[in-house]
Amino acid sequence: MSDQDLFRDTWVRYLGYANEVGESFRALVPAKVVRWSYGVAFAYCFADTMHKSLRTLKNDGRPKKVLIEAGDALIWQTLASVAIPGFVINRICTYSNRALARRFPKMLFLARGWITVGVGLLSIPIIVRPIDKGTDLFMEATYRRWMK
């Protein structure tokens, strides 16, 4: 059996970044589309939490251990997949849009919006690893240390 984590080491991980795609498109789509993208990302977080919980229940069976593992998965995924990258992409897109508006005041709104979308989408692969690693460090220094 492989040690590969379905929710963290495969293409499935990118479902957690649905809200970053939504944030990238914020300038061009209705707010409800962005909210829907957060729904997809949170569904991914809950699926990973359930997966880790069931695996721990099957392998260990102790309710306390299951709750600790569920908490770890939910906190990690919420931070690494939704909260931190959503904020980062939102800021990247906001500041890109403002910079374009200042530098090119006559640029069409739609052109500026599409450039902002491109900047946001291109930023996603760049921010993934540092955020995942930073969240790991944060979890090791807090939750995982406290739960041992």
Whether residue 5 is contained in a domain is answered as no
Cα 114 from chain centre: 22
Say how far apart CA 35 and CA 140 lie, in whole Å.
30
Q: Is residue 22 part of a domain?
A: yes
Using one digit for the tens of pLDDT, what is the confidence trace for 111-121?
999 999 999 99
Q: What is Dmax (Cα atoms) for the chain?
A: 64
Predicted local distance difference test score (pLDDT) of residue 1: 46
Task: With respect to residue 4, please indicate whether it lies within any of the assigned structural domains.
Answer: no
How many whole angstroms separate alpha carbon 72 and alpha carbon 68? 6
The token pair at 121 is: 């989408």
Confidence (pLDDT) at 94: 97
pLDDT tens-place string over residues 52-103: 999 999 998 899 999 999 999 999 999 999 999 999 999 999 999 999 999 9
Contact 73, 57 (CB under 8 A): no
pLDDT of residue 61: 85
Confidence (pTM) = 0.89
pLDDT band at 2 (very low <50, low <70, confident <90, very high): low
pLDDT for res 12: 85
Q: Is residue 111 part of a domain?
A: yes
One DSSP character per residue, 36-79 reads HHHHHHHHHHHHHHHHHHHHHHHHT--HHHHHHHHHHHHHHHII
Number of domains in the chain: 1
If you average pLDDT over every residue of the chain, what do you get? 94
Let me know if residue 105 belongs to a domain: yes
Chain mean position to CA 143: 19
Determine, yes or no, domain membership for 66.
yes
Q: Do 17 and 85 meet the contact criterion of CB atoms below 8 Å apart?
A: yes
Q: Which domain holds residue 61?
A: 11-147
Q: Is residue 54 included in any domain, yes or no?
A: yes
- The reply to whether 18 falls in a domain is yes
CB distance 144 to 136 below 8 Å: no
